[in-house]
Amino acid sequence: MNNVIIFPTDTVYGIGTKISDKEGIDLIYQIKKRPKDKPLAVLCANLKQIEDICYLTNDARVIINKFMPGPLTLILNAKDEIIKMTGLKTLGVRIPNLELAINILEENGPMFVTSVNESGQTSLDDYEIINNLYKDKVAKIYPKTKESSHLPSSVVDLTKCDIIVLRQGAITKEDILKCLGGHDESN
């Protein structure tokens, strides 16, 4: 049996597997019909899990402490052992603000996760629909314990000197700059 699971997060349902599970990762790409050059985000239960897989700058720590758990994905430089394991030099990491998701991540460690849908389609967020479509494709589907926001997370790249917003969500670049004291080296 595969180790791919579907579970609710604070934004939408996610389909995921442990970051070390190459077969599970391949299965996610296959199920979603997702191009292999589109990386998956990594959900973590806490700051420690992020520290285990990525290098953190002082700014990254400030942003994580201010906005996580929550709808923010940070692109960070991966640690050498993670690069060897995954082939990825950077990872998009996030701590979801939902107790069930945190419990799953505490049990499994950091997981590659993406929204439940066919690539390019609207994210699915209804348990019954997801269960009907995916019950034979994954190991387990968790029902919701709380309503999701349905909004995607903001995605912010912190791998360069400046802060680059790749996708605007609930958290703006201005919010991030404000928590860092208002400085932005890019302007």
For the chain, the structural domain boundaries read 5-179
Calculated CA dihedral for residues 98, 103, 106, 112, nearest 10 degrees = -60
CATH for the 5-179 domain, from 3.40.50.720, 1.10.760.10, 3.40.1390.10, 3.90.870.10: 3.90.870.10
Report helix, strand or coil for 125: coil
91-128: b or e for each residue (b if 16 or more CB lie within 10 Å)?
A: bbbbbbbbebbbebbeebebbbbbbbbeeeeeebbeee
User: Please, are residues 22 and 36 in contact by the beta-carbon 8 Å criterion?
Assistant: no
Q: What is the pTM of this model?
A: 0.90
pLDDT (tens, 9 = 90+) of the chain, 187 residues, equals 579 999 999 888 999 999 999 999 999 999 999 998 899 999 999 999 999 999 999 999 999 999 999 989 999 999 999 999 999 999 999 999 999 999 999 999 999 999 999 988 988 889 999 999 999 999 999 998 766 656 677 899 999 888 888 988 888 888 988 988 865 544 3
